[in-house]
Amino acid sequence: MLGHVGPNELELHPVARFPNNPVRTIDGLHWNILELYRNALLGLGAAVREAPRLASVAVDSWAVDYALMRGDRMLGNPFHYRDDRTLAGVEATHALVAPTELYRQNGLQVLPFNTLYQLAADRASGDLAAADGLLLIPDLLGFWLSGRRVAERSNASTTGLLQTTGAGAVWNDTLIGTLGLPRSLFPDLVSAGDSVGALLPGVAAEIGSDRLQLVAAGSHDTASAVVGVPMLTDDCAYISSGTWSLVGVELPAPVLTEASRAANFTNEGGVDGRVRYLRNVMGLWLLSESIRSWERAGDTIDLPDLLAEAAALPGQVTLFDVDDARFLPPGDMPARIVAYCVEHGTRPPGTRAELVRSIVESLAAEYARTLRTATELSGRSVRTVHLVGGGSQNTLLCQLTADYTGLPVQAGPVEATAIGNVLVQARAQGFASGSLESLRALVARAYPPRSYRPTPRAPAAHANISP
């Protein structure tokens, strides 16, 4: 994404897009990281050709995953967090540190793929013994671009190994030691907005620019997305809706209560030391994986048509628990949803349109439940829900979210993550200034959100989620 930012200007457009298809090999599910890097270099080259005076670049990606390193060499392809090697890691970790104590220290929701659980699996397999370093995915790409090894704090917070969230969070040396992990694995921390350095000469030559600087953005995609949410007041919640739905509020300090732990809410590190208080809801992965199943069977799927059909269905469809663990790994999602309904004595969706409606409506219902819990646990009142990311283009999802929460939904921008990334770079370079609030005002002007008013048609809709 190429961005142009000035004090009153914000414009982004895509320069290159490429798929991110994981690969299953005999030992598990991996990211095709070299292919991603190759495509990123091609994209950077295209961006430089279009904007030869391009000032900086920053990398963000999904959280938690990493490469083990030995010197400059990557030791094997990074595992995908949906690989099931991590399950034993959760048990092994909780045997060393009780979940209550862990939450007190890192404030993270238990997701089986959090980095600390993955590292427990690597320790058990012996993989860790060969490594002398670790780089999270965006930091790995940054290392290949610049030769500098760092860990940006927003993404490092998803390892579960940072001492606190906040502007100056440091690695939790005691916890790292208790878990039997070598402290030397973990690189120096930087914050979003810090300069990382110039590109390596070979990289600069390949992309055709020797003036580009690598800057740290909120390298966790969700941290950048939250920067790009056009929230202008405190009484707003956000839903970053893509493969995952990240549903919550932004807070000045973490909530580490027992009730928060029991509800599996997370306190992830945000840009400028803010806390992203949220819960991972399964997300549009349910839909994309269903489409993949149908396409594997040889069918061509027209998503807009299918969504229109789903929206036009009369009556109430069956809702299911989108966060059931069976939906995490890749596979035949329609069959799993049907099996879930049969097990729970509810009527399984009979057609594709019904299945799509069940997915979208179950997601909206879960968004509403999660937001209500977020307000109760944080004490924050919410009067507007911002929905950003790919899901903001799904009008059925936006309307149902308004219906189930009983609150107005402001939808967009679709590219909130890239916008948040570029704004933090621009501020670091002096092209924009001020707090996240002033950056968000810029987003609201450049990308005015679409409004959805709640309608009373969803029978299970909740009245209001303000505490």
Tokens of 276: 């992203």
Measured CA to CA, the distance from residue 391 to residue 389 in angstroms comes to 5
In Å, what is the CA distance from 375 to each residue of 280, 388, 447, 465? 16, 19, 27, 7
Q: Catalytic annotation on 221?
A: yes
Would you say 86 or 401 has its CB closer to ligand LRH? 86
Which pairs count as long-range contacts for 314-319, CB under 8 Å and 24+ apart, including other chains?
Answer: 316/459, 316/460, 317/349, 317/354, 317/357, 317/358, 317/361, 318/346, 318/347, 318/348, 318/349, 318/358, 319/358, 319/361, 319/362, 319/365, 319/460
CB-CB contact of 130 with 70 (8 Å): yes
Q: CB 152 → ligand LRH: shortest distance, Å?
A: 13
Would you say 164 or 280 has its CB closer to ligand LRH? 280
**Residue of 83, 139, 221, 403 marked catalytic:** 221
Quote the strand ranges of 200-287, DSSP E: 213-215, 236-241, 245-251, 266-269, 275-281
Measured CA to CA, the distance from residue 389 to residue 239 in angstroms comes to 8
**352-378 and 333-343 helices cross at what angle (nearest 10)?**
70
* 465 φ, ψ (degrees, to nearest 5): -110, 10
Q: CB 428 → ligand LRH: shortest distance, Å?
A: 22
Q: Is 295 exposed, middle or buried (0-12, 13-18, 19+ CB in 10 A)?
A: exposed
Measured CA to CA, the distance from residue 384 to residue 465 in angstroms comes to 10
Would you say 221 or 354 has its CB closer to ligand LRH? 221
Q: CB 225 → ligand LRH: shortest distance, Å?
A: 8
Would you say 157 or 318 has its CB closer to ligand LRH? 157
Q: CB 220 → ligand LRH: shortest distance, Å?
A: 6
In Å, what is the CA distance from 62 to each residue of 136, 190, 282, 335? 10, 18, 14, 27
Would you say 62 or 320 has its CB closer to ligand LRH? 62
Q: Which residues bind ligand LRH (CB under 6 A)?
A: 62-64, 81, 220-222, 243-244, 246, 280
Measured CA to CA, the distance from residue 284 to residue 436 in angstroms comes to 27
Q: CB 467 → ligand LRH: shortest distance, Å?
A: 25
Q: CB 176 → ligand LRH: shortest distance, Å?
A: 21
Q: CB 222 → ligand LRH: shortest distance, Å?
A: 4
Measured CA to CA, the distance from residue 227 to residue 123 in angstroms comes to 35
Q: What share of the chain is helix, strand, coil (3-state, %, to 5)?
A: 45, 20, 40
Would you say 179 or 246 has its CB closer to ligand LRH? 246
- Written as one letter, the residue type at 271 is V
Would you say 111 or 196 has its CB closer to ligand LRH? 111
**Which residues are known to be catalytic?**
221
